A = this chain, B = another copy of it.
Amino acid sequence: MPKASPSNSKKLRRQEAEALILSAAEKVFAEAGFGGATMQLIADVAGLPKANLHYYFPTKELLYRQVVQNIFEIWLQAADVFDQAEGPEEGIGAYIDAKMEISRRHPNGSKVWASEVMHGAPVIQDYLETTLTDWTNGRITVIERWISEGRMAPIDPRHLLYMLWATTQHYADFGHQIETLNGSAPLSDAQWEAAKNNIKTIILRGIGALPTA
């Protein structure tokens, strides 16, 4: 590989700077909300002058929009495991594992998403109406097939999906409350494992997808 040409090196630096800014922005938006976050604070966290942020992201809103989009991508990827499964025990179990891993690794992203939706999705309403709607309908089809095959009880697929989202994202969005109730300590590896298994056990047994214990 030849030495990076000036244009390549520029592009690389641009990507690096953008990633740095996006990471800082995700943290600040999660902790302060869109209205409470300031470009100055994001710049301080990123270790850059404030004007640089405006160079890469013209407005605060565009920066925010990019943060939300990035989260949405990660969010959707967790869905892959759902479809590759033979039945609900494997598919829903793996989906819970994947969503819990995201809650643990990307709690700030989850919080920004939650905040955006709670405020009426002013920035990503189009995503809700297109991509998320399509994704949801696809998963509903899969669940209905499992039900018709007798692999699980006849549960309303839509409310089951809401339950999966709610239980897994709760560990990110309400992480501060959970840590406080844990003696102001982060959950240990074992506690995360227990949380995951607890959700899987109750839901899978609850929908009749586990051999009756």
Residues of chain A touching chain B, judged by Cβ–Cβ distance below 8 Å, are: 30-37, 111, 114-115, 117-121, 125, 128-129, 132-133, 136, 153, 155-156, 158-160, 162-163, 165-167, 169-171, 173-174, 176-178, 180-181, 184, 194-195, 198-199, 201-208, 212-213
Q: Are B180 and A171 in contact (CB under 8 A)?
A: no
CB A168 to nearest CB in B, in angstroms, measures 8
Q: Smallest distance from the beta carbon of A112 to chain B beta carbons, Å?
A: 9
Question: In the complex the two chains form, is A156's CB within 8 Å of B198's CB?
Answer: yes
A162 touches which one: B119, B165, B170 (CB < 8 A)?
B170
Contact B177 A158 (CB under 8 A): no
The 10 A-B pairs of least Cβ separation, nearest first, read: A35-B36, A206-B206, A35-B35, A202-B206, A166-B170, A159-B198, A33-B33, A128-B180, A166-B166, A205-B206
Evaluate contact between B129 and A118: CB separation under 8 angstroms: no
Please indicate the chain B residues that have their CB under 8 angstroms from the CB of A181 in the complex: 128, 132-133, 136, 158
**Taking the nearest CB of chain B, how far is it from the CB of A150, in angstroms?**
14
**Which interface residue of A34, A171, A173 has the most chain B CB atoms within 10 A?**
A173
Chain B residues, CB < 8 A from A163: 167, 170, 198-199, 202
Complex copy number for this chain? 2
The prevalent SS among residues of A at the interface is helix
Q: Judge whether A160 and B198 touch: CB under 8 Å.
A: yes
- Verify A118–B213 contact, CB threshold 8 A: no
What residues of chain B lie closer than 8 Å to A180, measured between beta carbons? Answer: 121, 125, 128-129, 132-133
Instruction: Determine if A155 and B201 form an interchain contact, defined as CB atoms under 8 angstroms apart.
Output: yes
Distance of A83 Cα from B13 Cα, bound (Å): 60
Q: Which residues of B contact A111 (CB under 8 A)?
A: 118
> Do A173 and B118 touch (CB < 8 A)?
yes
Partner of A32, one of B35, B114, B155, B213: B35
From B34, B198, B212, B213, contact of A35 by CB (8 A): B34
Taking a contact as CB atoms under 8 Å apart, the answer to whether B174 and A117 are in contact is yes
- Bound-state CA distance A162–B30 (Å) is 21
